[in-house]
Amino acid sequence: MSGISPRDIRGLGATDIAAALRRRELTSVEVTQAYLEAIGAGNAGLGAYLTVDEQEALAQAREVDARRAKGEELGPYAGVPVAVKDNISTRGLRTTCASRILENYVPPYDATVVARLRQSGLVVLGKTNMDEFAMGSSGENSAFFPARNPWDPSRVPGGSSSGSAVAVAASLAPWALGSDTGGSVRQPASFCGLVGVKPTYGRVSRYGLVAFASSLDQIGTLTHDAAEAAALMGIISGYDPADSTSVPEPAPDYPALLGREIRGLRVGVVREGFGEGVEPGVQEALRRALDVLAGLGAVMGEVSLSMTTYALPAYYVIAPAEASSNLARYDGVRYGLRASNRSVTDMYGRTRQAGFGPEVKRRIMLGTYALSAGYYDAYYKKAQQIRTLIKNEFSSALQSYDVLVTPTAPSVAFRLGEKAADPVQMYYQDYFTIPVNMAGLPAVSVPCGFSGGLPVGMQLIGRWFDEAGLLAIAHAYLETTGWHRFRPEPAVSVAGEAR
Amino acid sequence: MAVTRAEVEHVAMLARLSLTEEEITQFTKQLNDILEAVRRMGEVDTTGVPPTMHALDQIKNVFRPDLPRPGLAREDVAGIAPAWAEGLFVVPKVVE
């Protein structure tokens, strides 16, 4: 046994845990045990995990320890635990998408990202809570129970990667994977004070990610700081022949590029980010963050993205249209729930009625309507044309600027139930994140302070495939400000700075 | 062009969702609310603008060699099916 207490282990973070494992000051079993105990004590109150894989996690940890003891060559993060969103397939481990229709579904294969985690020796702790089928911005659409924000459990953690954000923020996992179709990694990262990466479309394989809107979905990372994000991105990125939309290029060495020079970088502040729909506290935190970037030598400018306001309506055609088609596979035949055996049509209708929650049904209805005869040109084609204009606008802004900045979300975490009754209001949460998915660009949400005791996130948007550039800015910014060092309960910095 | 209750019932049939009466009422209202917000797209002149089908320009059609590859093992699939017999998925009778 090492002299490091379980609470201290969890305070180390992924990078220092990995270093301690390499120096053999800790074993993976000790680390995994510390997280499993914390999950046992904290998960009931926070709802971060839907499934905890205690036995298998410990078995994986023991295997890594044994290989290390034998002197085998291991990856730099071997033995570090990780949490995985429950829409990412894990062989032999229940994958529900927080839906009744997949409540008992155990995938017969691993998603490519999970296979990559395992190859790197990471230990999968369990599967995290989410909005059903990744449709939502609060976590309240989970069919099982809502996850709660560790900074204030009466508030939502954001969504749809709710449980992944809660697990990392509450130190129930050192880091986690999520998925982002319209902001589902970045907005919960913002609400929980984390770094959330939405990679360029095609950078990370979607094979084994349960499809929601295939032209927008991308797996991303939730971590405390930019160095961890770079490390985890390095593990999961790269070409995969099993995903025909994955880009046949090797991923760069993200950790090696963290120290890239910030001075002289052209930063375009998006004017719409200070519009009337954005809370004053969010605007203030963002203004201070921009001052810090200027202080680091960035050349600041201002840019208008006038198409931003049309991205949301276009998204609410494209994403539901793709979802209505993707979710047609849940029919009671091959896997998942079957609610009737009377006739095939009755089986389809009743299975889907019983298995899907209200938001999923709403989006299937919306998408089916938009694609139905007579409406295709008015809705789907129009939305795809607007998508072209959004892309063009970003493309031209990113010729003048190396990075664009907006708030990640227009508000800080709101109360459970506050927006649940009005879907249109809830959709506005993703106002600044959706355009990025429409264009396939990479973006990172970076913690940039607090408003009323709740975390605020700044969104950095970069050129296609320039995740490394974004992470370098995030790293320099966080090293200067220290916002990534704050932890909820007790809400003080682990490094000791006052709030 | 408001969405009528009859249209919502038709769309539910297309989507194979056996909605309740209350759900049909609720979705009729909500679809109209959402579509009203969506119709803001009409403010944008898209004459001659090509639609984007894929986020990245460099990916076109992707082909692989047409060679047989192993699929999922039958015994792995059997365990996840709601009804399974003799290596086949069992469904309600389709043809009378």
List domains and CATH numbers for chain A.
6-264+443-493 (3.90.1300.10)
pLDDT at residue A494, rounded to an integer: 39
Averaged over A207-236, what is the pLDDT? Answer: 98
Kindly determine whether residue B34 and residue A316, on different chains, have CB atoms separated by under 8 Å.
yes
Question: In this model, does residue A493 exceed pLDDT 60?
Answer: no
Q: Is A384 on the interface with B (CB under 8 A)?
A: yes
DSSP B50: P
Show which of residues 2-41 on chain B sit within 8 Å of chain A, judged by CB atoms: 3, 7-8, 11-12, 14-20, 23, 27, 30-31, 33-35, 37-41
Answer yes or no: do A334 and B80 touch at CB < 8 A: yes
Q: What pLDDT, on the 0 to 100 scale, is given for residue A498?
A: 33
Q: What is the mean pLDDT of residues A321-349?
A: 96
CB A460 within 8 A of CB A443: yes
Partner-chain contact A337 B31, CB within 8 Å: no
- The stretch B52-61 carries a mean pLDDT of 82
The mean per-residue pLDDT over the stretch A32-56 comes to 97
Residue A324 has phi, psi (to 5 degrees) of -60, -35
| Shortest alpha-carbon distance between residue A368 and chain B (Å) | 6
Digit-coded pLDDT (tens) for A224-241: 999 999 999 999 999 999
Phi-psi region of A282 (alpha: psi -120 to 50; beta: other; left: phi over 0): alpha
> Which residues in A lie closer than 8 A to residue B76 (C-beta atoms)?
108-109
Confidence band of A192 (pLDDT split at 50, 70, 90): very high
pLDDT of residue B53: 85
For chain A, percent of residues with pLDDT exceeding 90: 92
Higher pLDDT, A394 or A377: A394
- Is pLDDT above 80 for A337? yes
Q: Quick one: which H or E segment has residue B10?
A: helix B5-14
Distance from chain centroid for Cα A197: 7
Largest CA distance in chain B: 58
- Rounded CA gap, A74 and A483, in Å? 32
Question: Which whole number is the average pLDDT over A220-225?
Answer: 98
Question: Is residue B89 helix, strand or coil?
Answer: strand
The arithmetic mean of pLDDT across residues A106-116, rounded, is 97
Residues of A involved in catalysis: 85, 160, 184
Give Cα separations from A328 to A127, A149, A349, A497 (angstroms): 24, 33, 11, 52
Are A151 and A193 contacting, i.e. CB atoms less than 8 angstroms apart?
Answer: yes
Amino acid (1-letter code) at residue A385: Q
* Per-residue pLDDT at B75: 85
Flag whether residue A371 sits within 8 Å of chain B, measured between CB atoms: no
Q: Does B82 touch chain A (CB under 8 A)?
A: yes
Contact A365 B27 (CB under 8 A): yes
Q: How far apart are CA A147 and CA B73, in angstroms?
A: 36
**Of A164-168, A301-305, A346-350, B83-87, the least confident:** B83-87
pLDDT in the model for residue A2? 59
Q: Is A357 on the interface with B (CB under 8 A)?
A: no
Name the A residues in 153-212 with CB < 8 Å from any B CB. 200-202
Q: In what order do the strands lie in the sheet with A81-85?
A: A49-52, A123-128, A81-85, A176-180, A218-223, A195-198, A443-451, A454-462, A403-407, A266-270, A299-303
Mean pLDDT over residues A311-321, rounded? 97
Q: What is the pLDDT of residue A492?
A: 35
Identify the band that residue A171 occupies on the pLDDT scale cut at 50, 70 and 90.
very high
Q: How confident is residue A491, by pLDDT bands cut at 50, 70 and 90? A: very low
Q: What does the alpha-carbon distance between residue A183 and residue A435 come to, in Å, rounded to a whole number?
A: 9
Within an 8 Å CB–CB cutoff, is residue A397 touching chain B?
no
Contacts of B40 in chain A (CB under 8 A): 309-310, 313
β-sheet bridge partners, residue A221: A177, A197
Q: Of A196, A138, A186, which Cα lies nearest the Cα of A425?
A: A138
The answer to whether the Cβ–Cβ distance between B19 and A356 falls below 8 Å is no
Average pLDDT over residues A267-294: 97
CB B16 within 8 A of CB A348: yes
Instruction: Name all domains of chain B by residue range, CATH numbers in brackets.
Output: 1-42 (1.10.20.60)
Higher pLDDT, B94 or A462: A462
Q: How far is A459 from A187, CA to CA, in rounded Å?
A: 9
Q: Please determine, for residue A496, whether its predicted confidence score (pLDDT) is greater than 80.
A: no
Asked whether the predicted pLDDT for residue A246 surpasses 60, the reply is yes
Query: Mean pLDDT of all residues in chain A?
Result: 95
Q: Which pLDDT does position A224 carry in this prediction?
A: 98
C-alpha A300/C-alpha A267 separation (Å) is: 5
Q: What pLDDT is stored for residue B1 in this prediction?
A: 62
Per-residue confidence (pLDDT) for residue A74, from 0 to 100: 96
pLDDT score at A67? 97
Say what the ipTM of the complex is.
0.95
A334 touches chain B (CB under 8 A): yes
